[in-house]
Structure formats: structure tokens, C-alpha cells
Amino acid sequence: MKHKVDITKLHESAVLVDLTIHSPVTARTDKKVTASVESIHKLTNGGRWVKAIYDPKAFSDLRSVDYEIREHFTNSTLPFRKGCESIITGELLPVFLEQHRKLTAKRDKIADKLAEKFDELIEDSRKRLNGTWRAEDYPSSKEQFRAQFEVELDTLPLPRIGDLKDPILRKNAERAVEVRVNSAQQALVQRLAESLKRLGDTLQDGEKIFRNSTITQARTALANADALNLGGDPDIAKAISSARAGLEKFLAEGKEDELRDQPAVRELVASTASKSVREFEGIIQSLAGLKA
């Protein structure tokens, strides 16, 4: 992969971030009921009785905002260490943090309302679960219940490879960062290809009804793409520029109804998106060839 950016200085323009969302446990395996069912029906490892210890409907708003928080995090970052941190550039970080704080504040209000209804939630569960209700499944107070709602956003610096004096250690570190940057950029291209393919496939069917989120996802992917081109790969940059030039004005906020109501515009955007997908898929194939 071509790099225009000195990846040994990546720590100057990017940081690692990790998101963890904590919520109360809403379902538990009831070992007593499971054992009873197995005994009655003479089963061996026949399954588990999992009970909803809170009314699932009570947490619908929480699940919705949790999705928003995760989606915002994913759209603003790229995977960097498998199963661990993601990477975000300094260019995107301030905007990301501003929206992240708004979403977590929204979540805090939902959590506060749930905590105020803690006694009602417990009483509802007691009636709903009947004999399977267990006091030990729940926090002992609404304060403990509220403490179970938390969003953690950890930030970590990237290694300063230039500070390594040992040439072998420095070479190994450079290779490790290069591999991760290449993998992150492959993820970026894959994200762009998938979001634009979804857009193109949807718009090609003139009768298909689509949600605004189809447009929003494509718009967001393109808006963040340049900043997430970590190594400054010129082929990726060129494909991003081409896609933006052909699609940006049609994907602007408030243009959704125009795409719904004007078949000619819909067809043009579908065609342009499909062309961009082919460009990104070509890059993906070339990257796969380099990896092999």
C-alpha cells in the first residue's frame, strides 16, 4: 500500500480510542426452573430457562441511544487492534467528542428516568415472573441500579516509534504499525464500498421505499473518509474525491425527498454510486493481492 504520510509520526495526528457501554443485566438464567423443567420432562442438557428480569419494553429508549452511540463511534474511527482499540485522527476527534457528549447526556437522562422508576420496575417484575422472581437478581437500591449505567471512552496515545533507539525494536515497531494502518485502510475502503453499494442497490429499484438512514450512512462515510485515510494512500484519496464529486450534492441533508420523488435524479445517483463501488472494489482487490 502506498503511504504519503510518515507512519512513524502517526502519534502526532491520531490517538487510540476504546468504547465500553455498561447497562443493567436484563435477563438471567434461572437454574432452579431449568432443573425443574429437565426433571419433569426427563431431559439432559435440554436447554436453559432465561427470564427477562425487567420488562424489555422499559429499556427500548436506552437500546436506541446505545445504538446511536456505537454507530457514531464506528463511523468516526477505524479498527486498529483486533478486538481492542480503534483509531481516530486529530481532525475528527473534536467533532466526534462533541457529538459523543451530546449522546451520552441523552443517555444519562434516560438512565435517570429508569432509576426513578426502579421500584415500579421491580414490582412489575415481581408480578410478571410470579414464583420465578428472585430478590437476589436485582440491585438493592435505585442508587445501585443507576450506577450500572455508564459509558466509558478511553483514549490512549500511539507509540512514539522515533524514540526507539534499538534498530531491531524500531524496525519491528514500524512493521507492526504499518500492518495495522494497512488493515485500517482496507476497512475504510470496505466501509465506503458497502455503504455506497447499499445506496446504489436501493435507488436502482425505482419502487423501493428507503429510509433516510440509507442516505445518512453514505453521506457520513464520505464525509469522514479523507480524515480516515491514515496513510494518505493516493489511490484511496482519488476514489474518495471522485465519489464525493459525483454524489455529495445529492446526499446533502434535506435531499432525501428529491431522491424519492424524482426518478431521473434517483437513477443518476444509483449509477454514480455503482461506479464508485467498482472503484473501491478494485482497490480492495489490489490490497488483497498485496496482502497475499
Beta bridge partners of 27: 52
Q: Kindly state whether residues 114 and 145 are assigned to the same domain.
A: yes
pLDDT at position 292? 46
Q: Are residues 101 and 185 in the same domain?
A: no
Q: Are 24 and 153 found together in one domain?
A: yes
Distance of CA 142 to the CA centre of its chain: 30
Residues 59 and 191 in one domain: no
Structural domain including 172 reads 161-291
- Establish if 228 belongs to a structural domain: yes
Q: In a 3-state reduction of DSSP, which class is residue 72?
A: helix
Would you say residue 286 lies in a domain? yes
How many domains would you assign to the chain?
A: 2
Identify the residue whose cell numbers are 449522546.
103
How many residues would you count in the chain?
Answer: 292
Question: Does a structural domain hold residue 215?
Answer: yes
Q: Identify whether residues 143 and 27 lie together within a single domain.
A: yes
Domain-located, residue 195: yes
Q: What are phi and psi of 88, to 5 degrees?
A: -135, 145
Angle between helices 93-116 and 60-76 (to 10 degrees): 170
**pLDDT, tens only, 212-256:** 888 999 999 999 999 999 888 999 999 999 999 999 999 998 888
| Pick from 15, 26, 82, 27: nearest CA to 51 | 27
Could you list the pLDDT tens digit for every one of the 292 residues in the chain? Answer: 555 567 788 999 999 999 999 999 999 888 888 788 777 877 677 778 789 999 989 999 999 999 999 999 999 999 998 778 999 999 999 999 999 999 999 999 999 999 999 999 999 999 999 889 999 999 999 999 999 999 999 999 998 888 888 989 989 988 888 889 989 999 999 999 999 999 999 998 877 778 888 899 999 999 999 999 988 899 999 999 999 999 999 999 888 888 888 889 999 999 999 999 999 999 988 877 655 4
Model pLDDT, residue 4: 59
Residue 75 sits in the same domain as residue 119: yes
Same domain (yes/no): 70, 169: no
Of 107, 139, 157, the position where a domain reaches its end is 157
Domain boundary, last residue among 128, 157, 186: 157
Domain end marker among 111, 131, 157: 157
In a domain, 4, yes or no: no
124 neighbors 55 (Cβ within 8 angstroms): yes
Round to whole Å and give the CA distance between 256 and 266: 10
Q: Are residues 139 and 213 in the same domain?
A: no
Residue 9 lies in a domain: no
> Using one digit for the tens of pLDDT, what is the confidence trace for 152-168?
999 999 988 888 889 89
Which residue in 194, 205, 201, 280 sits closest to 243, CA to CA?
Answer: 280
Q: Please answer whether residues 37 and 43 qualify as being in contact, where contact means their C-beta atoms are separated by less than 8 angstroms.
A: yes
98 and 169 housed in the same domain:
no
Q: Is 230 part of any domain?
A: yes
CB 152 within 8 A of CB 20: yes
CATH number at residue 286: 1.20.120
d(CA 157, CA 155): 7
Grid cell, residue 284, equals 480492495
Q: Is the distance from CB of 239 to CB of 226 less than 8 angstroms?
A: no
Judge if 150 and 22 occupy the same domain: yes
Q: H or E element: which one contains 270?
A: helix 263-291
Is there a domain that residue 8 lies in? Answer: no
Neighbouring C-beta atoms of residue 174, cutoff 10 Å: 15
| Same-domain status, 137 and 151 | yes
Identify whether residues 18 and 148 lie together within a single domain: yes
Distances (CA, A) of 85 to 37, 82, 109, 148: 43, 8, 28, 23
Alpha helices (runs of H) in the chain, residue ranges in sequence order: 31-40, 60-76, 93-116, 118-129, 142-147, 167-204, 212-228, 234-247, 256-261, 263-291
Instruction: State which H helix or E strand residue 216 sits in.
Output: helix 212-228
